[in-house]
C-alpha cells in the first residue's frame, strides 16, 4: 500500500480532478478496502455538471462513486464476519443513528444517513476506501467484482419492484431503458412478471432491453401524446399493465404511466426529474391507481447477491465500457455523452479483470 490513494474528486461544478489523498485507517467496526470496480452513475455526472441534485449541494471537494466492490485489506477490531482478502460489494447508505425509520427497516429514509458521494459524504471512486463492515457483503466465488458493483443499481430495481408489488403473473410497463430501467426489467422478470413492455427514445437501448428479456419495446418520440402512448402500451400487452415503473423522471412520461396503468394498479416513481410536475392526478384517484415513491433501496444486498450467484439475473451485459482509474475524466465524459449503458472504472492497477 505504498504511495498515495488516487481518488476522483469533484471540487466544484465542472471541476473534476484526479488527486492523491491519504489512505484511511478503519475504525473498530469498519474495514479498509482496496477498491476494484466502481460504476459511474447518472447522479455522479449530474453533480459534476450541476454541482447539486435537489437539496444536496456541493460545498466542499467530494470523492465521487457509489456503485462499488473491492477487497478487504484491513479489519477493525470489532469486525467478526469479514477477514483480509474477502471480496465484498458495498452498500453505500449507512444509517448514522438508530432512529424510528431504522427500527422499521426503512433506513434509506433516515434524514441523517451517510451516503457515498452525496454531499457532504465522500464516495469510493478511489484506490483505498474505508466503510462500515456491516454494509459490506461477501461475494461468492462465482460473482465477479463488476457484478458486485452492479448490485447498487440492481438494488434500485429490487426496491422498485418490491414497492410496486411485482409478483408471479404481473404485467409491467417500464418507462425508460437506461441502466435503471434495464435493471428493473431484469428484476421484474426474476420476480415472475409475465410480460414486460419497455419504452425509450433510443432504439439501441430498446435493442439491449429485448436482449435482456423485454417482451415488447416501444420507441417514444419527443412530443408523443401521453394518452396515445398509453393506448399503444395496451395494444402491445392486450390489456393495461398491473404495474408501471417510471424510470425517466420526465413529466410526460409520468403522465403516460398514470394513463397506462390499469384500475387498482400501481405506479412507482423511480426517476427523479423536476420538483414540480403536472400530472393527471384525478385520473389516478378515481381509478384507485396507487402512486408510490422510490428512494434508493433498503435490505436488498442479500437478495441481489443470491440472484447473481444463482444465475437468475445476469447483469454482465450492462457493462459496455471500461477505463482504468487514471482515465476517470474520459470515463465520465463517455457517460455524459450517453454512450453505451454502464461505464466501469477499474481501481486496481494490478487487476483490471471484471
User: Are residues 164 and 132 part of one domain?
Assistant: no
Of 225, 199, 228, 198, which is closest to residue 213 (Cα–Cα)?
A: 198
pLDDT at position 179 is: 96
pLDDT at position 30 is: 98
Longest CA pairwise span in the chain (Å): 65
User: Are residues 221 and 177 part of one domain?
Assistant: yes
- Is there a contact between 185 and 202 (Cβ–Cβ < 8 Å)? no
Q: Report how far residue 108's alpha carbon sits from residue 160's, in angstroms, rounded to the nearest whole number.
A: 13
| Predicted confidence (pLDDT) per residue in 282-297, tens digit | 999 999 999 999 999 9
Residue-level length of the chain: 354
Name the residue with cell 441523517. Answer: 112
pTM value?
A: 0.97
- Can you tell me the mean pLDDT for 196-215? 97
Specify the DSSP element, H or E, that contains 203: helix 203-211
User: Are residues 101 and 202 part of one domain?
Assistant: no
Q: Report how far residue 242's alpha carbon sits from residue 262's, in angstroms, rounded to the nearest whole number.
A: 6
* Residue 70 domain-assigned (yes or no): yes
Bridge partners of residue 52, in order along the sequence:
57
CA dihedral angle for residue 79, residue 81, residue 83, residue 88, rounded to 10 degrees: -110
User: Are residues 207 and 170 part of one domain?
Assistant: yes
User: Are residues 185 and 66 part of one domain?
Assistant: no
* Residue 304 domain-assigned (yes or no): no
Residue 252: how many CA atoms within 13 Å on its side-chain side? 13
Of 30, 53, 31, which is closest to residue 41 (Cα–Cα)?
A: 53
**Confidence category of residue 351, pLDDT binned at 50, 70, 90:** confident
* Residue 150 domain-assigned (yes or no): no
Residue numbers of the domain that contains 268: 157-293
We report the CATH number of the domain holding residue 26 as: 3.90.180.10
User: Are residues 222 and 173 part of one domain?
Assistant: yes
Query: Does residue 22 have a cis bond before it (omega within 30 degrees)?
Result: no
pLDDT at position 350 is: 87
* Residue 146 domain-assigned (yes or no): no
- Can you tell me the mean pLDDT for 15-42? 97
* Residue 351 domain-assigned (yes or no): no
pLDDT at position 109 is: 98
pLDDT at position 91 is: 98
The set of cell numbers assigned to 188 is: 421484474
- Can you tell me the mean pLDDT for 148-177? 98
The DSSP annotation for 108-154 comes to GG-TT-EETTBTTB----BSEEEEEGGGEEEPPTTS-HHHHHTHHHH
pLDDT at position 63 is: 98
Number of domains in the chain: 2
- What average pLDDT is seen over the chain? 97
| Predicted confidence (pLDDT) per residue in 34-45, tens digit | 999 999 999 999
- Is there a contact between 34 and 73 (Cβ–Cβ < 8 Å)? yes
Residue 238, sorted as left (phi over 0), alpha (psi -120 to 50) or beta, turns out to be left
Bridge partners of residue 194, in order along the sequence:
none
- Can you tell me the mean pLDDT for 156-174? 98
Counting residues of the chain whose pLDDT is more than 70, the rounded percentage is 99
Counting residues of the chain whose pLDDT is more than 90, the rounded percentage is 96
* Residue 152 domain-assigned (yes or no): no
User: Are residues 52 and 84 part of one domain?
Assistant: yes
User: Are residues 162 and 286 part of one domain?
Assistant: yes
User: Are residues 191 and 276 part of one domain?
Assistant: yes
User: Are residues 234 and 262 part of one domain?
Assistant: yes
Q: Report how far residue 258's alpha carbon sits from residue 85's, in angstroms, rounded to the nearest whole number.
A: 49
pLDDT at position 206 is: 97
DSSP character for 350?
Answer: T
* Residue 303 domain-assigned (yes or no): no
Of 315, 316, 323, 325, which is closest to residue 343 (Cα–Cα)?
A: 323
* Residue 47 domain-assigned (yes or no): yes
pLDDT above 60: residue 1: no
pLDDT at position 2 is: 46
We report the CATH number of the domain holding residue 283 as: 3.40.50.720
Contacts of 159 (CB under 8 A, 6+ apart): 108, 294, 296, 297, 298, 300
Question: Can you point out the beta strands (E) in the chain?
Answer: 5-12, 15-21, 30-39, 52-53, 56-57, 62-63, 67-75, 87-90, 93-94, 114-115, 128-132, 136-138, 171-175, 195-200, 216-219, 243-246, 266-269, 290-293, 319-324, 342-346
- Can you tell me the mean pLDDT for 262-280? 96
Contacts of 71 (CB under 8 A, 6+ apart): 33, 34, 36, 85, 86, 87, 88, 348
User: Are residues 130 and 176 part of one domain?
Assistant: no
- Can you tell me the mean pLDDT for 76-96? 98
User: Are residues 134 and 163 part of one domain?
Assistant: no
**Confidence category of residue 3, pLDDT binned at 50, 70, 90:** low
- Can you tell me the mean pLDDT for 338-344? 94
Amino acid at each position: 500500500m505504498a504511495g498515495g490513494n488516487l481518488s476522483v474528486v469533484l471540487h466544484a461544478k465542472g471541476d473534476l480532478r484526479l488527486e492523491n489523498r491519504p489512505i484511511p485507517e478503519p475504525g473498530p467496526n469498519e474495514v479498509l478496502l482496496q477498491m476494484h470496480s466502481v460504476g459511474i452513475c447518472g447522479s455522479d455526472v449530474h453533480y459534476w455538471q450541476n454541482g447539486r441534485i435537489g437539496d444536496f449541494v456541493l460545498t466542499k471537494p467530494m470523492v465521487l462513486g457509489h456503485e462499488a466492490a473491492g477487497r478487504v485489506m484491513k479489519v477493525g477490531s470489532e469486525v467478526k464476519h469479514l477477514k483480509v482478502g474477502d471480496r465484498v460489494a458495498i452498500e453505500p447508505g449507512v444509517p448514522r443513528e438508530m432512529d424510528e425509520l431504522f427500527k422499521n427497516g426503512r433506513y434509506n429514509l433516515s434524514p441523517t444517513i451517510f451516503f457515498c458521494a452525496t454531499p457532504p459524504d465522500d464516495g469510493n471512486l478511489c484506490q483505498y476506501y474505508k466503510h462500515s463492515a456491516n454494509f459490506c457483503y461477501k461475494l461468492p466465488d462465482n460473482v465477479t467484482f463488476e457484478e458486485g458493483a452492479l448490485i447498487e443499481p440492481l438494488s434500485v430495481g429490487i426496491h422498485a419492484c418490491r414497492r410496486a408489488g411485482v409478483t408471479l403473473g404481473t404485467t409491467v410497463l417500464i418507462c425508460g431503458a437506461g441502466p435503471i430501467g434495464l435493471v428493473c426489467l431484469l428484476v421484474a422478470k426474476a420476480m415472475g412478471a409475465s410480460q414486460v413492455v419497455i419504452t425509450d427514445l433510443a432504439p439501441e437501448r430498446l435493442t439491449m432491453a429485448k436482449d435482456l428479456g423485454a417482451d415488447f419495446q416501444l420507441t417514444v418520440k419527443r412530443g408523443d401524446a401521453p394518452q396515445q402512448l398509453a393506448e399503444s402500451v395496451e395494444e402491445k400487452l392486450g390489456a393495461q399493465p398491473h404495474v408501471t415503473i417510471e424510470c425517466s423522471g420526465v413529466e410526460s412520461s409520468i403522465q403516460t404511466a398514470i394513463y397506462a396503468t390499469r384500475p387498482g394498479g400501481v405506479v412507482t416513481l423511480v426517476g427523479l426529474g423536476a420538483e414540480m410536475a403536472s400530472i393527471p392526478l384525478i385520473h389516478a384517484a378515481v381509478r384507485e391507481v396507487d402512486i408510490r415513491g422510490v428512494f434508493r433501496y433498503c435490505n436488498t444486498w442479500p437478495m441481489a447477491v443470491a440472484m447473481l450467484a444463482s444465475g437468475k439475473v445476469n447483469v454482465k451485459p450492462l457493462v459496455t465500457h471500461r477505463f482504468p482509474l487514471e482515465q476517470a475524466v474520459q470515463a465520465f465524459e463517455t457517460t455524459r455523452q450517453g454512450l453505451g449503458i454502464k461505464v466501469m472504472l477499474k481501481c486496481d492497477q494490478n487487476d483490471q479483470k471484471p
